[in-house]
Amino acid sequence: MNPRLSLLQPYPFERLRQLFADITPNPDYAPISLGIGEPKHPTPPFIQQALCDATMGQPGLAGYPATLGEPALRQACTDWMQRRYGVTVDPATQVLSVNGSREALFAIAQTVIDPAGDAIVLCPNPFYQIYEGAALLAGATPWYAPSVPERNFAVDWDSVPENVWQRTRLIYVCSPGNPTGAVMPLDEWQKLFDLSDRYGFVIASDECYSEIWFRDQAPLGGLEAAQKLGRNDFRNLLMFTSLSKRSNVPGLRSGFVAGDAELVKSFLLYRTYHGSAMNPVVQKASAAAWNDEAHVEDNRRMYRDKFAQVTPVLAEVLDVALPDAGFYLWAHVGNVCGGSDTEFARQLLQQCNVTVLPGSYLARDARGHNPGAGRIRMALVAETEQCMEAAQRIRSFVQSLSS
């Protein structure tokens, strides 16, 4: 067995299951889960129809798919990047279809890390746990850079020591962030690009929440930032995105990677052996989804309306504010339940039958501090009525403990 498997920590939802093992939820309430970030808005009918049409068409399921992705899909992806970011990439050399951003974020570490070296993979803290697992199984050491609440949860890259930068081979960034919803500004991208030029590491930009935002301006993307700064070759930069949140198709497992042509070439080589080509039927439906923006605007409008209703209710009793983007609320529990995020989650489930995710499960103790401690993540993915009901229960729960 690979000895590095023993280094993997339980996934947050397994830890949540263990946390609730002895809890009996209040049967007076119907269960509501805000714990898992799984989109619940309806899948657009035209995407479902595209799947059906592709299944019945030629070649349908009768041929092996191309690992790179069919030209029509890659063109749809590049057309979308041009419309969304004003970025021009070559669909033949700078775009690669993937089975959702999650597996690609894992696989890129296996591609760029030399397991014989003494590599470090940098990631924000709190973070998406795939980053950590990818680093460990690639033979690298994760290093956790803290997010700073006073700076809108910007990552404190300045806290990273020189000897860590020297060993860094890969950085994961997530903008908009999970769980904080923070968007990286251009000056932060400039800092990372300068560091990448100095130390030679690859930047993997996780942008799967990019199409759900609440401000006047769409979130800045990694390739967009590079182009604004004159880095038109996207050196040492790859963006990762998917249709899961944008188009409400998490079960489709469809996304793409774009950026540095040399990195895409190496990633394609790895994936050719990995056997990770996208189903040809899924490719057809994916192209249809990337080519349509109306359903994305409708989806964004639903999230905006929902957050506008839910956030003020929770803000009455918790330290929480509308994020830049994404579909999470990242709330500080204050002194409720002694300030313990895990005890808050336990008592909330027991008394109100509402599930939230403790913030400490999304972060690591690093240099004596867990930046997720005392916070909870709430995924507002269900319909507005259900999310409002959950918010009202949480408000009553906190008020009952504070009175």
AA identity, residue 384 = T
Q: What percent of the chain has pLDDT over 90?
A: 93
CA distances in angstroms from 255 to 42, 223, 246, 250, 338, listed in the order given: 19, 16, 10, 10, 42
Q: Are 208 and 158 in contact (CB under 8 A)?
A: no
Distance, CA of 231 to CA of 229 (rounded, Å): 6
User: Per-residue pLDDT averaged across 48-72, rounded?
Assistant: 88
Contacts of 297 (CB under 8 A, 6+ apart): none
Residue 60 has pLDDT above 80, yes or no: no
User: Per-residue pLDDT averaged across 364-391, rounded?
Assistant: 96
β-strand partners of 208: none
pLDDT at 373: 97
User: Per-residue pLDDT averaged across 47-62, rounded?
Assistant: 87
Q: How confident is the model at residue 395 (pLDDT cuts 50, 70, 90)?
A: very high
User: Per-residue pLDDT averaged across 262-284, rounded?
Assistant: 94
Closest CA to 312 of 227, 394, 257: 394
- How is residue 271 written in tokens? 């994936």
Structural fold of domain 45-292: Aspartate Aminotransferase; domain 2 (3.40.640)
Residue 1 has pLDDT above 70, yes or no: yes
Computed on alpha carbons and rounded to an integer, the radius of gyration of the chain in Å comes to: 21
Domain boundaries in the chain? 3-42+295-402, 45-292
In the CATH scheme, what architecture does the domain 3-42+295-402 have? Answer: Alpha-Beta Complex (3.90)
Residue 359 has pLDDT above 80, yes or no: yes
User: Per-residue pLDDT averaged across 367-384, rounded?
Assistant: 95
- What pTM, to 2 d.p., does this model score? 0.96
Closest CA to 394 of 348, 357, 350: 348
Q: How confident is the model at residue 117 (pLDDT cuts 50, 70, 90)?
A: confident
pLDDT at 275: 86
pLDDT at 64: 86
Q: Is 117 exposed, middle or buried (0-12, 13-18, 19+ CB in 10 A)?
A: exposed
Q: How confident is the model at residue 330 (pLDDT cuts 50, 70, 90)?
A: very high
Closest CA to 288 of 46, 42, 41, 43: 46
Distance, CA of 143 to CA of 125 (rounded, Å): 9
- How is residue 292 written in tokens? 């349509």
pLDDT at 116: 83
Q: What is the pLDDT of residues 136-161, one digit of tens each?
A: 999 999 999 999 999 989 999 999 99
Q: Is 240 exposed, middle or buried (0-12, 13-18, 19+ CB in 10 A)?
A: buried
Edge to edge, what strands does the sheet with 357-358 contain?
Answer: 328-332, 375-379, 357-358
Greatest Cα pair distance, the chain, in angstroms, is 66
Q: How confident is the model at residue 62 (pLDDT cuts 50, 70, 90)?
A: confident
Helix (H, G, I), strand (E, B) or coil at 139: coil
Residue 403 has pLDDT above 90, yes or no: no
Q: What is the pLDDT of residues 164-221, one digit of tens each?
A: 999 999 999 999 999 999 999 999 999 999 999 999 999 999 999 999 999 989 999 9
pLDDT at 57: 79
Q: Are strands 120-125 and 141-148 parallel, antiparallel or unpaired?
A: parallel
Q: How confident is the model at residue 21 (pLDDT cuts 50, 70, 90)?
A: very high
Residue identified by tokens 């946390």 is: 19
Q: What is the pLDDT of residues 287-325, one digit of tens each?
A: 999 999 999 999 999 999 999 999 999 999 999 999 999
Contacts of 292 (CB under 8 A, 6+ apart): 44, 46
Closest CA to 297 of 212, 369, 368: 212
pLDDT at 27: 96
Distance, CA of 362 to CA of 355 (rounded, Å): 15
Q: Is 175 exposed, middle or buried (0-12, 13-18, 19+ CB in 10 A)?
A: buried
Where does 122-174 have alpha helices with state H?
A: 129-137, 162-167
pLDDT at 328: 98
SS3 track for 74-103: HHHHHHHHHHHHCCCCCCCCCEEEECCHHH
